Amino acid sequence: MQLALSEDQTQVLDFIDSLARPYASLPMHDVSLALESADLDAALVESGFLDVLAVEELGPVTAALVVEKLARLPFAVEAAASAMVRPLIDPDLPRPLCLVEEGRTGGPVRFLRPGASVVVVGLSGVRSFTVDAGMIAAAQEDTLYAYPVAFLTGLPDAMTVHDVDAGEVLRAWRVAVAAEAAGLLGAALAATVTYVSDRKQFGRPLATFQGMRHRLAEDQVITNSVYWLVLRAAGTGDSGDAALALLHAQEAAKRVCYDYHQFLGGMGMTLEHPLHLWTYRLKLLTAELGGRGEQGLAAAEALWG
């Protein structure tokens, strides 16, 4: 098994680092629960980083790496659905792309706004429509999800039907969410390590206490395993691997976020520390696609069904 990144993949990630450098730190006077940047989004589109899935030399693994890298930023970016799902449905669908499950359209929808494309995936197939203002029940400017979210009033009678396998879209959706979760987990871990390395108690950094070091080591192993399961799922294109990757990502989020907020003495639950920008997003992702129970069922169906 080849674990090293290819030269092309390394170059893509280096380019993203350069492009995203102005957005890697928090605005000095912004204490919002959710951060977005139209300039960053436009730069990603212009540079073609959201289209790497269609490039033969790059493909789905590179797309997953791009999603994971962008998820580490404090700014929420609609990259996962556009980079990993949109090419399977229609690469010309207007962005942002909002994915919802048939029968589960009443919850918060990430990046939902007028002009967005909503893709409904379910037993009846894959359908889409463009959102107008009258279809949105309530937009929330400052949400506890740390994403920009809104709620649909319902689905229109007329939608575009796409000739694509719904199961394949669900597989790509699971990999996309798992890749995003992997980046969020990595960023949350890095923020926590920085804090406990700088914060002193009893005359020494918190990170030097053995009990904390053991738990941080466990959290790092969990975070790393999410990353590698995502890359495996992206590479194999197997629905069972995709379900297992998202299952582990959602399990990991439940486990490590508790540790991180405790290590910060409860900070990150408020706006004193930016940890919430990653952990609150993870909280919403743990419910995506039906949550852990649905991923377990999907994995069992794919592996033994």
* Higher per-residue confidence, 143 vs 128: 128
- For residue 207, the model assigns a pLDDT of 65
Q: How far is CA 16 from the centre of its chain?
A: 16
Determine the pLDDT at residue 40.
93
Would you place residue 197 in the very low, low, confident or very high pLDDT band (cuts 50, 70, 90)?
Answer: confident
What is the value of pTM for the model shown?
0.92
pLDDT range class, residue 5, cuts 50, 70, 90:
confident
Task: Give 64's pLDDT tier (boundaries 50, 70, 90).
Answer: very high
To the nearest 10°, report the CA torsion of 34, 247, 63, 258: 40
Whole-angstrom distance, CA of residue 259 vs CA of residue 291: 21
CA angle 40/42/43 to nearest 5° reads 65
Phi, psi of 238 (to 5 degrees): -95, 135
- Helix %, strand %, coil % for the chain, to 5? 55, 10, 30
Residue extents of the structural domains in the chain: 166-304
Mean predicted confidence (pLDDT) in 101-119 = 92
Predicted pLDDT of residue 106: 85
Question: What average pLDDT is seen over the chain?
Answer: 89
166-304 fold: Butyryl-CoA Dehydrogenase, subunit A; domain 3 (1.20.140)
Secondary structure of residue 194 in the 3-state scheme:
helix
CA–CA gap between residue 305 and residue 303 (Å, rounded): 6
- Percentage of the chain with pLDDT > 70? 91
